[in-house]
Amino acid sequence: MPPDGLFDFQVNGFAGVDFQTDGLSRTEFETAVAALRRHGTAGIFATFITDEVDALCRRLAAFEELCAASPAAATTILGYHLEGPWLCPTSGYRGAHPPGPMRAPSLTDFNRLQLAANRHIRLVTLAPEWPGASEFIAAVTATGVHVALGHTNATDRQVDDAIRAGARFCTHLGNGCPLELPRHDNIIQRLLARDELIACFIPDGIHLPPFVLRNLFRAKPAGRALFTTDAMAGAGAPPGRYTLGKLAIEVGHDGVARQPGGQGFAGSTLTPDEGVRRTAAYLGLTLEAAHTLWSTAAAEAFGVTLPRRERPSSVSTIPARIGPPD
């Protein structure tokens, strides 16, 4: 592989460490970063999921303190991805996110969050069907923050309005929606049809079966698809029980992160280096081409600069094949 390290713009936790946890220690922070680096990762957007704004402010401020206390590890944190609370609260579309804190986007709330993050929020995922969403998108993108559409059931017009306002990405397209949808008029088709939007996919073989991933990838123009792990604490860690915010997550020997009772997924245990290998295998790409999608292509799309690093020597700890959910 080329010397460029990998860039993952959606990491909720890693190596047993849940970024959504209050009171995260410096040791836990450094453990997660060290494990990410062993898996070839040069940079991430640490991702925070739906919660009350006060709680999100507290976690962002705490993460900034950890970065200040551990500058060597902090070089891996290239910004923050805020996935919620401005998502669709309808069952299915909200995924594993709690519906209670969900609300219309607010510039007042965003400014509070950005202040807590020392202006390091780089990406916001939202549902554009909320009142005032287009105005919000225009305002935050004017400051250099990227906007992705996700966990949404927006109409054609609402999607078009969001694009005109500055939205450029789709968060984990093909997921964050109900298991059953209308055959033609559904949010996957509405978003997939917009060539203006860069589609982001989770290539773990579970969130999207490989044949579905191939179809979705082929539907996008060249240069309009990227990949992420959507990793949670069980990524780069053995099977067991982990958390994703307030959820207790069970990771089985098949490597699948399931919500309590086996109801749906909650993040992924995919590691970035394994993501490169699966992207290449599932899409018939060379490892070099897949690596570029996970490194320089992703970094350029989000306007970040990756440090150069040596080729990683580690092997992913998750199974070579992840089986279907129970």
For 128-224, strand residue ranges (E) read 146-149, 169-170, 198-201
Q: With pLDDT > 90 as the criterion, what percentage of the chain qualifies? A: 87
Residue length, the chain?
A: 326
Q: How far apart are CA 283 and CA 149, in angstroms?
A: 24
The answer to whether 83 touches 90, Cβ cutoff 8 Å, is no
Task: Give the pLDDT score at 264.
Answer: 75
Tell whether the torsion through CA atoms of 32, 233, 46 and 304 is positive or negative.
positive
Q: How far apart are CA 143 and CA 227, in angstroms?
A: 25
* SS3 label, residue 249: strand
pLDDT band at 276; cut points 50, 70, 90:
very high
pLDDT digits (tens, 9 = 90+) for 36-92: 999 999 999 999 999 999 999 999 999 999 999 999 999 999 999 999 999 999 999
Tell whether the torsion through CA atoms of 121, 94, 35 and 198 is positive or negative.
negative
Task: Give the pLDDT score at 4.
Answer: 72
Residue 106 has pLDDT above 80, yes or no: yes
Structural domains in the chain? 6-302 (3.20.20.140)
The residue-averaged pLDDT of 226-233 equals 98
Tell whether the torsion through CA atoms of 20, 11, 100 and 136 is positive or negative.
positive
* SS3 label, residue 293: helix
Mean per-residue pLDDT over the chain, rounded? 93
The residue-averaged pLDDT of 174-186 equals 96
Considering only 86-95, 235-244, 315-324, which range has the smallest mean pLDDT?
315-324
pLDDT top residue among 319 and 193:
193
Alpha carbon 167 to chain centroid distance? 16
For the chain, strand residue ranges (E) read 6-11, 13-14, 17-18, 41-49, 77-83, 121-126, 146-149, 169-170, 198-201, 225-227, 240-244, 247-251, 257-258
What does the angle CA 220 – CA 221 – CA 226 come to, to the nearest 5 degrees?
60
Considering only 177-181, 214-218, 255-259, which range has the smallest mean pLDDT?
255-259
Neighbours of 149 (CB within 10 A): 29
The residue-averaged pLDDT of 181-186 equals 97
pLDDT digits (tens, 9 = 90+) for 247-262: 999 999 999 998 876 5
Residue 285 has pLDDT above 50, yes or no: yes
Contacts of 5 (CB under 8 A, 6+ apart): 37, 40, 41, 42, 43, 295, 306, 307, 308, 309
pTM of the entire predicted model: 0.93
Burial class of residue 313, CB neighbours in 10 A (0-12, 13-18, 19+): exposed
pLDDT digits (tens, 9 = 90+) for 135-163: 999 999 999 999 999 999 999 999 999 99
Q: How far apart are CA 259 and CA 244, in angstroms?
A: 9
Task: Give the pLDDT score at 317.
Answer: 39
